[in-house]
Chain A
Amino acid sequence: MKVNSGYFRFFAIGLASVWLALFVFFPNLLVVITSLLTRDPSATVSLPFNLNSYWRTLDVLYLDVLWNSIKMAALATISCLLIGFPFAMAIVSLPKRWQTIALFFMIVPFWTNSLVRTYAIQFILGNQGIINKSLLALGLIDTPLQLLYTPFAVILGLCYILIPFMVLPLYSALEKLDPRLHFAARDLGASAFHRFIKITLPLTSPGIVAGCLMVLLPAMGMFYISDLLGGAKNLLLGNVIKTQFLNTRDWPFGSAFSVMLMMLLGVMLWLYYRASRFTNKQGGIHDSNF
């Protein structure tokens, strides 16, 4: 069906290609190049090429931050999965009309700026916040709990901001699951637990990996959440990169962290493709194979 077709085609392809080349491909290339250059106080970066920035990420100080950052992001991802999976399953079990409504209600709050919502969480977790006040009023505690400026607060904030990115891929994977598989398994004598372990979980694994990918990676970069909820101690990788770029102006070092994040993306994508090849089904990162 594809016949030569002139200007429209040229225009349609050209516009997006040029844009993506100029603002996606080229920039990422530049980040890799920058990470291999040397910091220069007068001109931000200069030759020669070297791997110094990467070696420096292994410095104990940064390794600690890196480890902490990965830990908090990973915990947030796992929490999102544990909260999101039953949530997505509950939505899928609703009648079609209610599914749309439930998803709609889940997404509405995300039309408020995420920064503002983080700020609202600050309100809730504070010493004078709703949680502490209720607990005090109930007599469960005598002195306010220190909730704000803890790793817990950061993880909670990440979870809250990123949960839709977990639920949506899970939902689309669960929705594609043929209910007859469950009937068949039931007919063959599988218990509810076995049906979940042997059918639901393996067949939605691409969706699970997709969801984790869409939570874990952004989570590592959300510097404003750790800024507002974690205080100075609980830093994310995003805070490090931001400081290197906007304060210390050590671009090669900041770029090196960023390249490492992209490598992590590569690993997760590899996992995703393995999972989807295994189930022969797309999970939800993009349902559209170009």
Chain B
Amino acid sequence: MIRIFKWGYLSLILALIYLPIAVLIVNSFNAAKYGNKWGGFSLQWYQKLFNNDALIEAALNSLTVSIVAASVATVIGTLAAVALHRYDFKGKGLLSSMVFVAMLTPEIVMAIALLIVFITLGISLGFVSLVIAHITFCLPFVIIAVYSRIKDFDMRMLSAAKDLGANELRTFWEVILPLILPAVLSGWLLSFTLSLDDVIVSAFVTGPSYEILPLKVYSMVKVGVSPEVNAISTLLLGISLVLVVVSQLLIKKDH
């Protein structure tokens, strides 16, 4: 009895979570524009999408920002996590509380804070400001992901590497990195997703010269129904899924 209830509840919530996605995917193949009735299977929205250069460009811009931001955040975050775990230094407490604050700061607060900084420092709003902002909100997640993996390490293993003649850099490269690789990969993936998903911070720190997909979509859906949005969202979901599956396979192989 409890079993049935449990599985029922789990499936119900999961079904509700998937419902909007399903509506989206179905409508991307729906010939009818308003999506409230089935007008037959059609790829016309995909066709329209590929002719919509502005939308394609925004999507490519988004991918560029996300890949660059996720990669830089992963490098800085991985090094920071290793440093936080391995070394004692002045200001360590301050650094870790800044990571904590950065992770918990509501996006809207971070958005205006970064906007003020960019204006103050004279950084023009566009690609650079977007990338900096995205790195900033991804960084704490990478640090936490990697740190929580390192902290399960047997610290003696790192002593052993040192004892056998490896300096810090080689210890990192030959022992730490191979072992934290799954966490590094998932940190990258999480950053990539967060970056691709972001609306709030981007809305503040981008400029008119550089349009990215979420903002483009935002302005499109505000004025009315645009089925191309369904099409591009379906495509992006597909890309994300492929990325996740590939990375999971890589992690599995690694073990």
Contact = CB atoms under 8 A, between A and B. Distances in A.
A binds B: yes
B107 A218 contact: yes
Given A1-B155, A116-B229, A237-B108, A121 B14 contact: no
A11 B79 contact: yes
Contact of A27 (B17, B77, B116): B116
Most interface-central of B27, B108, B114, B197 (chain A CB within 10 A): B108
B218 A224 contact: yes
Contact of A31 (B109, B136, B229): B109
B247 interface: no
Nearest to B170: A8
Contact of A19 (B92, B96, B136): B136
B113 A286 contact: no
B151 A288 contact: yes
A261 B117 CA distance: 19
A75 interface: no
B14 A105 contact: yes
A171 interface: no
A27 B84 contact: no
A93 B6 contact: yes
B21 interface: yes
A123 B27 contact: yes
Given A12-B82, A15-B79, A217-B104, A245 B24 contact: no
Contacts, number: 248
Interface string B118-135: 011000000000001101
B104 A31 contact: no
A27 B113 contact: yes
B119 A24 contact: no
Interface residues of A, number: 89
A111 B240 CA distance: 6
A228 B221 CA distance: 8
A258 B114 CA distance: 12
B40 interface: no
A6 to B, nearest CB: 6
Given A90-B6, A258-B109, A8 B168 contact: yes
Nearest to A11: B79
Contacts of A242: 108, 203-204
B241 interface: yes
A288 B148 contact: yes
B147 interface: yes
B102 A111 contact: no
B169 interface: yes
Contacts of A23: 114, 117, 132-133, 135-136
| A interface, over-half SS | helix
Given A20-B99, A90-B10, A115-B214, A31 B200 contact: no
Chain B contact patch, size range:
35 or more
A287 B241 contact: no
Given A1-B159, A108-B241, A130-B23, A24 B136 contact: yes
A242 B199 CA distance: 12
Interface string B208-231: 000001100110011000000100
Most interface-central of B82, B83, B112 (chain A CB within 10 A): B112
Contacts of A87: 9-10, 13
A114 interface: yes
Interface string B72-93: 0000110110111111110111
B101 interface: yes
Nearest to B89: A13
A163 B181 CA distance: 29
Contact of A288 (B20, B83, B120, B144): B144
B6 A30 contact: no
B70 interface: no
Given A16-B77, A113-B233, A261-B109, A8 B169 contact: yes
Interface in B1-33: 6-7, 9-10, 13-14, 17-21, 23-24, 27
B113 A30 contact: yes
5 closest A-B pairs by beta carbon, nearest first, are A221-B108, A16-B80, A27-B113, A290-B96, A120-B20
9 contacts: A28-B109, A119-B217, A119-B221, A122-B221, A123-B20, A124-B23, A160-B17, A222-B200, A286-B103
Given A117-B20, A129-B36, 6 more contacts: A11-B79, A23-B136, A28-B113, A120-B23, A124-B23, A290-B85
